[in-house]
Amino acid sequence: MDIHTDIPLKNYTTMHIGGPAKFMADAHTPQELSELMMRAKSQNMPYFILGGGSNTIAHDEGFAGIIIRMMIKGYSVVAETAGDITIQVGAGEIWDDFVQRTIAMHASGVEALSAIPGTVGAAPVQNIGAYGQEVADTIVSVDAFDSQTNQFVTLKNLDCDFGYRSSIFRGLDAGRYGITSVTFRLFKTAPQPPFYEAVQRYLDQKGATIYTPEAIRDAVIAIRAEKLPDPTQLPNAGSFFKNAVIENWQFSELIAQYSTMPNYEMANQKRKIPTGWLIEQCGLKGQVLHGMRVHDKNALVLINESATGYADLAAAREEIRAAVRTKFHIEIEQEPLEL
């Protein structure tokens, strides 16, 4: 297990900013992961477990500890019935490769999460979701190394406290667990309408009448390709802001003023408002702020066009947040994690 020094984080994050990590090492097995975490803990050194770097922002000063790159592979069917299939997947597997494999098995449950960059181990951290699906709906359990007890543990779905783009892994217990694998329960039944509006519209345009996981995956890939820039071509971290979640009373006030405001009903008397729409209404879509371009096809995305570091990104972020706050009295939140 090699440990490298002074590794530039801009080469390992899709936003392409960030200074050097003091140390960096790859974890290919759960044992290597636990050893690296315990070594860091014993030396009172910070650590960060990095997947594909697509949902991570690094600072200009770098990271004064050890970056552990998640490389644990593995894929196994652990149970199967006439109606469902349970699959355990290594945390270092590429997320979209896993989705593609489920499609080949004619299993449904994660097809709408196609083409999301990153690793399987990162999926439960922010409870990835898109086009009407959330990964929490299919997760049975998460295997991890617990740095508090120095033991390997299995966390059931309810233990993970999943919410909208949230979990214990990025909440109060951030950094406590090193995820080694995730177990999913998928279904052998075909996905059923009604589908997410953009997906249904695409299917209707194609004249689709038979709905399969493959058809939904194809639709989602086409929609994402149109709206979201490829991070390998244009540096970005995907959706930079979470969609806004507001109270019903605030929504009632806003819809009276902005009658075309898109919205989605949620539990607990709340409404989800697309943050991309809010940013667009502020006139920022397509604008370049401190070297960061607000994507002209999806205002949730910030593209690093000429930013020289984290300070530029932070300035652009705060300018956008201030504009939305001033116009709508809504505080929008950043989605990517920060080192």
Q: Which residues are catalytic?
A: 165, 239, 335
Query: Could you give the CA distance from residue 106 to residue 90 in angstroms, rounded to a whole number?
Result: 21
Contact 221, 202 (CB under 8 A): no
Phi and psi for 196 in degrees, rounded to 5? -55, 145
Contact 67, 23 (CB under 8 A): yes
Contact 92, 120 (CB under 8 A): yes
Query: Could you give the CA distance from residue 309 to residue 314 in angstroms, rounded to a whole number?
Result: 9
Query: Could you give the CA distance from residue 296 to residue 167 in angstroms, rounded to a whole number?
Result: 31
Query: Could you give the CA distance from residue 153 to residue 103 in angstroms, rounded to a whole number?
Result: 29
Alpha-carbon torsion (118, 244, 193, 167), positive or negative:
positive
Query: Could you give the CA distance from residue 7 to residue 339 in angstroms, rounded to a whole number?
Result: 14
Contact 170, 194 (CB under 8 A): no
Report the phi/psi class of residue 6: left, alpha or beta, with left for phi > 0 and alpha for psi in -120 to 50.
left
